Amino acid sequence: MTELWLVRHGQTEYNVQDRVQGMANSALTPAGRAGAAALGRGFKQAGVTFDAAFSSDLARAQDTAQLALAAAGQASLPLTLDAGLREENYGKYEGQLTNDFAQSLFGLPDFKAALLAHELNLAQIADATYAANADQTPNRAEDNGMVQRRFDAALRTLTVGQTGRLLVVTHGTVTLMWLNYIGFDTRGQEMLHNTSVTRVAYADGIFTVHDFDDDTYLTLGKEA
Protein backbone atom coordinates (compact mmCIF):
# COMPACT_ATOMS: atom_id res chain seq x y z
CA MET A 1 0.00 0.00 0.00
CA THR A 2 1.05 3.59 -0.64
CA GLU A 3 0.08 6.59 1.47
CA LEU A 4 -0.17 10.05 -0.05
CA TRP A 5 0.13 12.88 2.42
CA LEU A 6 -1.47 15.75 0.51
CA VAL A 7 -0.39 19.10 1.96
CA ARG A 8 -1.73 22.48 1.02
CA HIS A 9 1.04 25.09 0.69
CA GLY A 10 1.68 27.71 3.35
CA GLN A 11 0.03 31.12 3.47
CA THR A 12 0.88 33.36 0.49
CA GLU A 13 0.74 37.06 -0.30
CA TYR A 14 -2.29 36.45 -2.52
CA ASN A 15 -4.03 34.61 0.33
CA VAL A 16 -3.59 37.68 2.52
CA GLN A 17 -4.66 40.05 -0.26
CA ASP A 18 -7.69 37.89 -1.17
CA ARG A 19 -6.66 37.50 -4.78
CA VAL A 20 -7.41 34.68 -7.23
CA GLN A 21 -4.25 32.61 -7.16
CA GLY A 22 -4.59 29.67 -9.53
CA MET A 23 -1.42 28.99 -11.49
CA ALA A 24 -0.03 32.48 -10.84
CA ASN A 25 3.04 32.51 -8.60
CA SER A 26 2.58 34.23 -5.26
CA ALA A 27 5.31 34.09 -2.63
CA LEU A 28 4.90 32.64 0.84
CA THR A 29 4.47 35.24 3.56
CA PRO A 30 6.71 35.10 6.66
CA ALA A 31 3.78 33.36 8.38
CA GLY A 32 3.57 30.92 5.47
CA ARG A 33 7.24 30.05 5.74
CA ALA A 34 6.93 29.65 9.51
CA GLY A 35 3.91 27.40 9.04
CA ALA A 36 5.75 25.17 6.57
CA ALA A 37 8.66 24.81 9.00
CA ALA A 38 6.27 24.11 11.88
CA LEU A 39 4.62 21.39 9.80
CA GLY A 40 8.01 19.76 9.29
CA ARG A 41 8.79 19.95 12.99
CA GLY A 42 5.44 18.34 13.68
CA PHE A 43 6.29 15.46 11.36
CA LYS A 44 9.59 15.01 13.18
CA GLN A 45 7.94 15.13 16.60
CA ALA A 46 5.43 12.49 15.50
CA GLY A 47 8.12 10.27 14.00
CA VAL A 48 6.71 10.68 10.48
CA THR A 49 9.24 10.15 7.70
CA PHE A 50 8.69 10.04 3.95
CA ASP A 51 9.94 7.60 1.35
CA ALA A 52 9.54 10.08 -1.51
CA ALA A 53 8.51 13.73 -1.94
CA PHE A 54 6.57 15.45 -4.70
CA SER A 55 5.39 18.99 -5.25
CA SER A 56 3.53 21.17 -7.66
CA ASP A 57 6.08 23.13 -9.68
CA LEU A 58 4.58 26.44 -8.51
CA ALA A 59 6.92 28.31 -6.18
CA ARG A 60 4.63 28.39 -3.16
CA ALA A 61 4.32 24.60 -3.15
CA GLN A 62 8.03 23.99 -3.80
CA ASP A 63 9.02 26.34 -0.99
CA THR A 64 6.57 24.74 1.42
CA ALA A 65 7.88 21.27 0.60
CA GLN A 66 11.52 22.26 1.01
CA LEU A 67 10.94 24.09 4.28
CA ALA A 68 8.90 21.22 5.72
CA LEU A 69 11.41 18.58 4.68
CA ALA A 70 14.30 20.57 6.14
CA ALA A 71 12.51 21.02 9.46
CA ALA A 72 11.58 17.32 9.47
CA GLY A 73 15.24 16.37 9.11
CA GLN A 74 14.75 15.08 5.57
CA ALA A 75 16.33 17.89 3.54
CA SER A 76 18.31 15.34 1.52
CA LEU A 77 15.17 13.62 0.20
CA PRO A 78 14.86 14.48 -3.52
CA LEU A 79 11.84 16.63 -4.40
CA THR A 80 10.14 15.76 -7.69
CA LEU A 81 8.20 18.61 -9.33
CA ASP A 82 5.02 17.87 -11.25
CA ALA A 83 2.95 20.42 -13.20
CA GLY A 84 -0.02 18.07 -12.89
CA LEU A 85 -0.21 18.97 -9.19
CA ARG A 86 -0.80 22.67 -9.91
CA GLU A 87 -3.83 24.64 -8.78
CA GLU A 88 -6.81 25.24 -11.06
CA ASN A 89 -6.11 27.62 -13.95
CA TYR A 90 -8.44 30.65 -13.83
CA GLY A 91 -7.14 32.18 -17.03
CA LYS A 92 -7.61 35.94 -17.28
CA TYR A 93 -8.91 36.19 -13.71
CA GLU A 94 -5.67 35.17 -11.99
CA GLY A 95 -4.37 37.92 -9.73
CA GLN A 96 -7.77 39.62 -9.57
CA LEU A 97 -9.30 40.42 -6.18
CA THR A 98 -11.63 37.54 -5.27
CA ASN A 99 -14.56 39.88 -4.60
CA ASP A 100 -14.16 41.46 -8.05
CA PHE A 101 -14.00 37.96 -9.51
CA ALA A 102 -17.23 36.93 -7.75
CA GLN A 103 -18.94 40.14 -8.84
CA SER A 104 -17.86 39.73 -12.46
CA LEU A 105 -18.92 36.09 -12.84
CA PHE A 106 -21.82 35.72 -10.43
CA GLY A 107 -22.98 39.18 -9.40
CA LEU A 108 -22.06 38.40 -5.78
CA PRO A 109 -20.22 41.00 -3.68
CA ASP A 110 -18.27 38.76 -1.29
CA PHE A 111 -16.46 35.67 -2.57
CA LYS A 112 -15.69 34.04 0.80
CA ALA A 113 -19.16 34.73 2.17
CA ALA A 114 -20.69 33.15 -0.93
CA LEU A 115 -18.60 30.02 -0.42
CA LEU A 116 -19.43 29.77 3.27
CA ALA A 117 -23.13 30.27 2.58
CA HIS A 118 -22.97 27.59 -0.17
CA GLU A 119 -24.15 30.07 -2.78
CA LEU A 120 -21.20 28.88 -4.87
CA ASN A 121 -19.40 25.56 -5.09
CA LEU A 122 -16.04 24.77 -6.64
CA ALA A 123 -17.49 22.96 -9.65
CA GLN A 124 -19.74 25.91 -10.53
CA ILE A 125 -16.86 28.34 -10.16
CA ALA A 126 -14.55 26.33 -12.41
CA ASP A 127 -17.18 25.79 -15.10
CA ALA A 128 -18.18 29.46 -15.11
CA THR A 129 -14.54 30.56 -15.20
CA TYR A 130 -13.79 28.35 -18.18
CA ALA A 131 -16.85 29.66 -20.04
CA ALA A 132 -15.93 33.28 -19.25
CA ASN A 133 -12.47 32.72 -20.73
CA ALA A 134 -13.90 31.70 -24.09
CA ASP A 135 -12.77 35.07 -25.50
CA GLN A 136 -9.13 34.11 -24.83
CA THR A 137 -6.96 32.46 -27.48
CA PRO A 138 -6.01 29.95 -26.34
CA ASN A 139 -8.42 29.43 -23.47
CA ARG A 140 -6.05 28.35 -20.68
CA ALA A 141 -8.72 28.15 -17.98
CA GLU A 142 -9.97 24.78 -16.76
CA ASP A 143 -13.47 23.55 -16.05
CA ASN A 144 -14.31 21.20 -13.19
CA GLY A 145 -13.79 17.96 -15.11
CA MET A 146 -10.49 19.11 -16.60
CA VAL A 147 -9.09 19.94 -13.15
CA GLN A 148 -10.26 16.66 -11.62
CA ARG A 149 -8.93 14.44 -14.40
CA ARG A 150 -5.59 16.24 -14.57
CA PHE A 151 -4.97 15.93 -10.83
CA ASP A 152 -6.16 12.33 -10.66
CA ALA A 153 -3.83 11.36 -13.51
CA ALA A 154 -0.90 13.10 -11.78
CA LEU A 155 -1.48 11.27 -8.50
CA ARG A 156 -1.85 7.90 -10.18
CA THR A 157 1.32 8.47 -12.21
CA LEU A 158 3.46 9.47 -9.24
CA THR A 159 2.47 6.31 -7.35
CA VAL A 160 3.93 4.08 -10.07
CA GLY A 161 6.83 2.15 -8.58
CA GLN A 162 6.33 3.83 -5.20
CA THR A 163 5.51 2.27 -1.84
CA GLY A 164 5.42 3.65 1.65
CA ARG A 165 4.66 7.22 2.62
CA LEU A 166 4.74 9.99 -0.01
CA LEU A 167 4.74 13.71 0.73
CA VAL A 168 2.71 15.55 -1.94
CA VAL A 169 2.63 19.35 -1.55
CA THR A 170 -0.07 20.87 -3.68
CA HIS A 171 -3.00 23.33 -3.51
CA GLY A 172 -6.36 23.66 -1.80
CA THR A 173 -8.97 23.98 -4.51
CA VAL A 174 -7.58 21.27 -6.76
CA THR A 175 -7.37 18.87 -3.81
CA LEU A 176 -10.99 19.50 -2.81
CA MET A 177 -12.20 19.10 -6.39
CA TRP A 178 -10.32 15.81 -6.68
CA LEU A 179 -11.75 14.54 -3.39
CA ASN A 180 -15.22 15.15 -4.81
CA TYR A 181 -14.13 13.28 -7.95
CA ILE A 182 -13.20 10.13 -5.99
CA GLY A 183 -16.46 10.27 -4.04
CA PHE A 184 -15.20 11.57 -0.70
CA ASP A 185 -17.76 13.66 1.19
CA THR A 186 -16.12 17.00 1.94
CA ARG A 187 -19.41 18.11 3.57
CA GLY A 188 -19.53 21.28 1.57
CA GLN A 189 -16.10 22.50 2.66
CA GLU A 190 -14.76 24.78 -0.07
CA MET A 191 -11.38 25.75 1.41
CA LEU A 192 -8.48 23.83 2.94
CA HIS A 193 -6.34 25.37 5.66
CA ASN A 194 -2.77 26.30 4.79
CA THR A 195 -0.29 23.48 5.59
CA SER A 196 -3.09 21.06 6.48
CA VAL A 197 -2.68 17.36 5.74
CA THR A 198 -5.12 15.14 3.87
CA ARG A 199 -3.90 11.54 4.16
CA VAL A 200 -4.97 9.14 1.43
CA ALA A 201 -4.18 5.43 1.02
CA TYR A 202 -3.79 4.00 -2.48
CA ALA A 203 -4.04 0.30 -3.26
CA ASP A 204 -5.29 -1.67 -6.30
CA GLY A 205 -6.28 1.52 -8.10
CA ILE A 206 -8.49 2.75 -5.23
CA PHE A 207 -7.97 5.86 -3.10
CA THR A 208 -9.22 5.83 0.51
CA VAL A 209 -9.19 9.01 2.59
CA HIS A 210 -8.11 8.60 6.22
CA ASP A 211 -7.50 12.19 7.37
CA PHE A 212 -9.01 15.38 5.91
CA ASP A 213 -7.71 18.94 6.35
CA ASP A 214 -5.81 17.84 9.46
CA ASP A 215 -3.78 20.46 11.36
CA THR A 216 -2.43 18.05 13.99
CA TYR A 217 1.15 18.18 12.70
CA LEU A 218 1.15 21.95 12.29
CA THR A 219 -0.04 22.38 15.88
CA LEU A 220 2.50 19.87 17.16
CA GLY A 221 5.29 21.69 15.34
CA LYS A 222 4.24 25.08 16.71
CA GLU A 223 4.41 23.67 20.22
CA ALA A 224 7.83 22.07 19.72
For the chain, percent of residues with pLDDT exceeding 70: 100
Range 118-124 contact pairs with CB under 8 angstroms and sequence separation of 24 or more: 118/188, 120/190, 121/188, 121/190, 122/173, 122/176, 122/177, 122/180, 122/190, 123/177, 123/180
Dump pLDDT digits (tens) for 199-218: 999 999 999 999 999 999 99
The 3-state secondary structure of 119-133, one letter per residue: CCCHHHHHHHHHHHC
- Residue 70: count of CB within 10 angstroms of its CB: 15
162: three-class secondary structure by DSSP:
coil
- Does position 116 have pLDDT exceeding 90, yes or no? no
Q: Where are the alpha helices (DSSP H) in 81-141?
A: 98-106, 111-116, 122-132
Is 90 exceeded by the pLDDT of residue 186?
Answer: yes
Range in 116-120, 131-135, 171-175, 210-214 the model is least confident about = 116-120
Is 139 within 8 Å of 133 (Cβ atoms)?
Answer: yes
In the predicted model, is pLDDT for residue 118 greater than 90? no
Per-residue pLDDT, 114: 84
pTM: 0.96
Q: Which active-site residues does the annotation give?
A: 9, 87
Model pLDDT, residue 115? 85
pLDDT for position 112: 87
For the stretch 102-114, pLDDT in tens is 999 999 899 988 8
Q: Right CATH number for 2-223 from 3.30.450.20, 2.20.25.90, 3.40.50.300, 3.40.50.1240? A: 3.40.50.1240
**Is residue 117 very low, low, confident or very high in pLDDT (cuts 50, 70, 90)?**
confident
Integer Cα distance of 28 and 9 in angstroms:
8
Domain boundaries, the chain: 2-223
In this structure, which amino acid lies at residue 212?
A: F
Is 90 exceeded by the pLDDT of residue 224? no
The pLDDT tens digits of the residues spanning 47-57 come to: 999 999 999 99
Provide mean pLDDT across the span 2-31: 97
Average pLDDT, the chain: 96
